[in-house]
Homo-oligomer: A and B are copies of this chain.
Amino acid sequence: MIAPTHADVLEANARIRPHCRITPVLTSTTLDELAGCDLHLKCELFQKTGSFKYRGATNAVQKLAGDVAARGVVTHSSGNHAQALALAAKVRGIAAHVVMPYTAAQVKKDAVLGYGGCVIECEPTLAARAAAAAELVQRTGGTLIPPFDHADVIAGQGTAAVELLAQVPNLDAIIVPVGGGGMIAGYCLAVQGLAPRVRLIGAEPELASDAAESLATGVRQQQKPPASIADGLLTSLGDIPWPIIQRYVAAIHTVSEAEILHAMRLVWERVKLLIEPSAAVGVAVALQRRFLGQLVGVVLCGGNVNLNSLSW
| Contact (A307, B265) CB under 8 Å given A26-B24, A46-B26 | yes
CA distance A268 to B308 in the complex (A): 12
Residue contacts A-B, CB under 8 angstroms, 24 given: A24-B24, A24-B26, A26-B46, A29-B48, A45-B272, A46-B271, A46-B272, A50-B270, A50-B272, A265-B307, A268-B274, A268-B307, A269-B274, A269-B307, A272-B273, A272-B274, A272-B275, A272-B303, A273-B273, A273-B274, A274-B274, A307-B312, A308-B312, A310-B310
- A265 surroundings in chain B (CB, below 8 A): 307
From 11 to 34 in chain A, residues with beta carbon under 8 angstroms from any chain B beta carbon are 24, 26, 29
- Closest CB in chain B relative to A193 CB, distance in Å: 29
Q: Could you give, for residues 179-203 of chain A, a 1 whenever the CB lies within 8 Å of some chain B CB and a 0 otherwise? A: 0000000000000000000000000
Number of interface residues of A (CB under 8 A): 21
- A274 surroundings in chain B (CB, below 8 A): 268-269, 272-274
Considering only CB atoms, which chain B residue lies closest to A303 in the complex?
B272
Considering only CB atoms, which chain B residue lies closest to A44 in the complex?
B272
- Closest CB in chain B relative to A44 CB, distance in Å: 10
- A24 surroundings in chain B (CB, below 8 A): 24, 26
CA distance A308 to B26 in the complex (A): 25
